Amino acid sequence: MSVFETIQRINDLRSEIDELRPIPPEIIDRIMRKFHLDWNFHSNSIEGNSLTFGETKAFLLHGLTAAGKPLKDHLDIKGHKKAIDELEDFIRSNSQLTEFTLKAWNKLLLVEPFEQRIEDANGNVTVRRINPGVYKSLPNYVVTATGETHYFTDPIKVRDEIEALLVRYEKDSKDDLLHSLIIASRIHYEFINIHPFDDGNGRLARILMNLVLMKNGFPPVVVRVEDKPNYLRALQQADSGDFEPFIDYIGQQLIKSLETMLKGAKGENIEEPSDLDKEIQLVLKQIEESKKDIVKAKKGGQYLLYTFRNTIFPLLQQLEKTVYKFHEFFHEIEIESIINFYVGHQKSFTDVISFIDWVNQNERGLDQIRSFIFIGRLKGYKHSIKSGNDHTFSLNFRFNDFNYEIETGAGEKKEIGLYDSKIEPRRINEICQDMGRGILDFVKNISQ
């Protein structure tokens, strides 16, 4: 298909969509969610040799990309999503594209500085610090499929060429005879050929391409990871002076986006069988490394004993001390600990020490505990003859299969813990302070 025919098909599809306007906002949202999912997944996966779901999974398991770059996919996904959000705000505000904008978007994409292994044309490997939003200071290049080395713009010329690109874009955007496809393809290719940053150039080039399209009422183009060889082939043909195949390639992807938008506008299903897989991978990549596989222990006698000794006992001992600070206000203070078992019966204790002794002697039976409640009763307020001068509070513990919950009797605050870790003393102190303040508030109210 020639570029002329491609543009004609694009215009025809756009006219069909325009005939369906106004499209309800909820349908537009559904269509854009689909585009965002595909754009986020494919634009990130197409970088760093992440060609398939299997390769992505391997990177997640081993922690390094094929090029040796430490895995930071969750940051890349978050950064790319923020950049898309920023792009949409940018379009709505009708802002002017500037050098500052390009640097800001690169900073959003890369999120934070990182170390990257770089191999020069002679095969020498060095480690370079990549600073987001900063132009490259050393030359960069790519080895083509034919084995040739293609060098991008020399670092010393980057600023001038970016300035020239922005001037051309402003001029092109005011030319009514130039179709948006031509302008979008041109800014994509020219930006890639400059390669102004040490990383994130491909993602940013596709964002600039979609800036042009979306600003002119078209949906975003998604270059799919499985189509990466055709994408690179079209770029290489442009490098050799034949620009038409690249325009046609981008045009074919725009046709696919328009067809998706048309189906969505008609109320048809636009989901793909692989969409669930994409979302699973995106969510997995967004989970911070420090939180991955954080839940390791399942409820059992040994882990419950660890939880009682390292969290619950210290909490109850400190809470008991807090309660007895109010002995000047009440005639009687009672403490009761009640264990609820799965079989339906209960066991109660009237002081913390006897409860601790029982737990320490019954490790094997601890996994039969469903829940536990700590109750404090403060009776007979000494300084008022008002009725209702008793105060009761409780702390509830529920033991689930993979975590436990601590909740106040009113259900106002909840703490969730894991069986192989302990709640920090600082947090235990905060819980006791909150419970003590509840008693103090009662005392203040009844004393008025």
DSSP symbols for 374-420: EEEEEEEETT---S---EEEEEEEEE-SS-EEEEETTS--EEEE-TT
Which member of 36, 179, 195, 391 is catalytic?
195
Task: Tell me which DSSP letter residue 114 carries.
Answer: E
288-297, 360-369, 389-398: which range is least confident on average?
Answer: 288-297
Sorted by sequence, the CB contacts under 8 Å of residue 71 that are 6+ apart come out as 59, 60, 62, 63, 64, 65
Q: Which residues are annotated binding-site positions for ATP?
A: 142-150, 199-206
Percent of the chain with pLDDT over 90: 54
- The helix or strand, by DSSP H or E, that contains position 347, with its residue range, turns out to be strand 346-349
Catalytic site includes residue 383: no
Q: For residue 156, give Cα distances in angstroms to 162, 196, 295.
A: 11, 10, 50
Contacts of 35 (CB under 8 A, 6+ apart): 219, 220, 222, 257, 260
| Contact between residue 336 and residue 349 where contact means Cβ atoms under 8 Å apart | yes
* CATH number for the segment(s) 3-290: 1.10.3290.10
pTM over 0.85: no
List CB contacts of 156: < 8 A, sequence separation 6 or more. Answer: none
What are the sequence ranges of the domains in the chain?
3-290, 301-447
* pLDDT of the residue at 408: 78
Both structure tokens of 340? 């609820």
Q: What is the pLDDT of residues 217-266, one digit of tens each?
A: 999 999 998 899 999 999 989 988 999 999 999 999 999 999 999 999 99
- 37-71 pLDDT, tens digit per residue, is 888 888 877 765 343 333 333 333 333 333 333 44
Residue 217 amino acid letter: G
Q: pLDDT tens digits for 181-218?
A: 999 999 999 999 999 999 999 999 999 999 999 999 99
Tokens for 168?
């051309």
C-beta neighbour count of 410 within 10 angstroms: 9
Measured from the Cβ of residue 432, the count of other Cβ atoms closer than 10 Å reads: 21
What residue spans of 148-286 are helical by DSSP H?
158-173, 180-194, 201-215, 228-239, 244-265, 275-286
What burial letters (b/e) apply to 208-223, b meaning 16+ CB within 10 Å? Answer: bbbbbbbbeebbbbbb
Distance CA 393, CA 262 (A): 60
What residues form the annotated binding site?
A: 142-150, 199-206
Q: What is the pLDDT of residue 36?
A: 86
For residue 219, cis peptide bond before it (omega within 30 degrees of 0): no
